Structure 1
Amino acid sequence: MADTAATPHAVELRGVSKRFGDTIAVAELDLGVRSGEFFSMLGPSGSGKTTVLRMIAGFEEVTSGSILLEGEDVTRSAPFDRPVNTVFQDYALFPHMTIAQNVAYGLTVRKTPKAEIRRRVADALEQMRLGHTGDRLPHQLSGGQRQRIALARALILRPRVLLLDEPLGALDKQLREQMQIELKQIQREVGITFIFVTHDQEEALTLSDRIAVFNQGRVEQVGTPREVYEFPQTAFVAGFLGVSNLIAPDLAERLIGESRAFTVRPERVRIAPADMAPAAHETSVLGTISELVYTGPATRYIVEGEHGLRVIAERHNDHAPNDTAPWSRGDRVRVVWATEHAAVVP
């Protein structure tokens, strides 16, 4: 799927393919990442997103096609000749080096003057709010602190593009959510292009300026978080990005008189008494609640509806904590949504 935006591209892939023997990992991919944006590549395991990241970094050779960094063809360039740096999931910190030595490593290899190294290391650690940790060893830091040190080590080399391969995957949920906010703030402060690989849909929605949704070596859709969530272009995107109710064309024709596939998100579906008539602008289906899932902030209801349609409705838990849920398993109900809230799936 080509990106035809006029904004200059920090990274551009033109017809890029990657084969491992007879297996096609990436198939003729056209993709543009704009300068200064936080761009996420989202998809399930084996969808090709990490392979694309490794080809941009130069760790994997391209089978066909070309990769451009700020307009320069780097398809056959070695990793150290590309103006990019990579942060890995395991952070890859040297356990025998202090934090300051870890951060300084790239500058030391480049034979940067020692006075400049000290200054830039101090600045990098202060930017990460870890100026007090320079003399410590990696095992003396928390997971979130090690993640920030890995970022500092990558950013101190002043790459034009930073590649991040699921860097938050090893953190627990609470720390991961905290680091998502910090990572976005860091990206805005340094102002460089971040390309982020993740399989976590919520993480991609939280962090990204734009998202590319990968499936079986291809990009199914590129867009802002709102665009890919609210207006999925394929059934895969609708199902993979969050929870969605997919209505097939034959059933859509019965319900609203249009023979096209639609999707409606659970948070836009409400549950009403079975005998309540829907308004003129609404679509509804009669059914029976087969399951309730309590998630804390919300309760998710699974309704087995007419015509074989299973509908998931989500209700925010805004009632008093001691009150029981208004609906129970086995209740006969009507699921209702505004017809305009159902998005067409091309």
Structure 2
Amino acid sequence: MLQSANVAVSVNGVTKQFGDFTAVKDLDIEIYEGEFFSMLGPSGSGKTTVLRMIAGFENVTAGKILLHGDDVTAAAPFDREVNTVFQDYALFPHLTIAENVAYGLRVRGVSKTERNRLVGEALEQVQLSAVASRQPSQLSGGQRQRIALARALILRPKVLLLDEPLGALDKQLREQMQIELKQIQREVGITFVFVTHDQEEALTLSDRVAVFNNGKIEQVGSPREVYEFPETEFVARFLGITNIIPSATAARFFGSSELHSLRPERVELADPTTPLETDEIALGGTIAEIVYAGAHTRYLVDVEDGVRYISEKQNRHTPRTEASLRRGDTVSLRFQKTHATPIPGTQPVSAAA
């Protein structure tokens, strides 16, 4: 559906240099109207620089940026129909919550009566009508983030840019805000362009994800596509934990020397004497480490060819029942052939998972 939609943001052949350093290299992106699009990557990968160029906070060294077909490459930030939500919220500490949300409307000369009406609607949308008269310092981090979002949305931008807006929140609150943010985006129907270094966050929120590395995009696709079918070894490793099956092992089992990605949740541990099922692959190994993580347990297994694999198992046993496996146990590592996906065009970069 998104492929046939109108394009909200076009980044065409964009390069950004800071002196001798090239932060972004000949980048092309198309982001569709009404889409939740995430730019994901490690620190220094160029994702925030791209967001700032779309917003107009950074100049483009080469290339063009278009918003709904209009070339805004040289336009000032206030001449672009976008708004930005920052990680630090950027609320005015001396203004009340209602005054913070109304600030952009006041700058635009909107009448007081209309401002009050729109502020009321915006605060109701983020479920914070009761705090309108408070100061930002009296709110929690999650509440301040929702106020920053309301202040940005009240101006009805065609594109909302979000620069790691949940990064300062603790894990539980961040997960709660992810759900709220996605619900708000669906309600308002505005294009969201979201920058994050958190893989789980990108997978949870996005319609599509662009994975950045060294100023370039390694892969763009739906969360399922980039997780299940990584196109580069970097994407496979960065999008959660994975086992990289090395070239020699891949050639033996799959008839191809391309590296393969195998997610830990698809790896089972069995008794070495258990018969193989149809199309199942077995590797003998020894449990090197066991990591208990509450809902699941990870087993690090050193196999016969010197590679360490990870198996992840949901903890479905009763709470007072200890897991039967121990460090040093000999096990058979099992997975279906179809559960390992080839990484196109890869060569044996490394053997460790």
TM-score bracket relative to the smaller structure:
over 0.9
Cα distance in 1 between the residues matched to 2:336 and 2:295: 23
1:12 paired with 2:18, answer: no
Quote how far apart the aligned CAs of 1:171 are. 0.6
Cα distance in 2 between the residues matched to 1:161 and 1:141: 27
Question: 4+ residue stretches of structure 1 with deviation over 6 A?
Answer: none
Residue of structure 1 equivalent to 2:334:
336
Residue of structure 2 equivalent to 1:71:
69
Quote how far apart the aligned CAs of 1:248 are. 2.0
Cα distance in 2 between the residues matched to 1:42 and 1:259: 29
Residue of structure 1 equivalent to 2:183:
185
Would the aligned equivalents of 1:256 and 1:283 in 2 still touch at CA under 8 Å? no
Would the aligned equivalents of 1:96 and 1:137 in 2 still touch at CA under 8 Å? yes
- Residue 187 of structure 2 aligns with an amino acid whose one-letter code is E
Quote how far apart the aligned CAs of 1:283 are. 1.2
Quote how far apart the aligned CAs of 1:310 are. 1.1
1:250-301 CA distance string (max 9 Å, x none): 2211233322211110000000112333223011211110000011110000
1:60 paired with 2:76, answer: no
1:58-115 CA distance string (max 9 Å, x none): 0000000000000000000000000000000000000000001000100111111111
Residue of structure 1 equivalent to 2:299:
301
1:277 paired with 2:275, answer: yes
Q: 1:40 aligns with which of 34, 38, 41?
A: 38
Q: 1:161 aligns with which of 152, 159, 162?
A: 159
1:158-205 CA distance string (max 9 Å, x none): 100000000001111111000000000000010000000000000001
Cα distance in 2 between the residues matched to 1:58 and 1:124: 25
SS in 2 for 1:188: helix
- Residue 100 of structure 2 aligns with an amino acid whose one-letter code is N
- Residue 97 of structure 1 aligns with an amino acid whose one-letter code is L
Q: 1:132 aligns with which of 120, 130, 133?
A: 130
Cα distance in 2 between the residues matched to 1:228 and 1:15: 23
Q: 2:221 aligns with which of 204, 220, 223?
A: 223
**Which runs of no fewer than 5 residues in structure 2 stay unpaired?**
345-353
- Compute the TM-score of the two structures, normalised by the length of structure 2: 0.96
1:87 paired with 2:85, answer: yes
Aligned ranges 1:227-306 → 2 under 5 Å: 227-306=225-304
Q: 2:317 aligns with which of 313, 316, 319?
A: 319
Cα distance in 2 between the residues matched to 1:258 and 1:58: 47
Quote how far apart the aligned CAs of 1:343 are. 0.7
Q: How many residue pairs are counted as aligned between the two chains?
A: 343
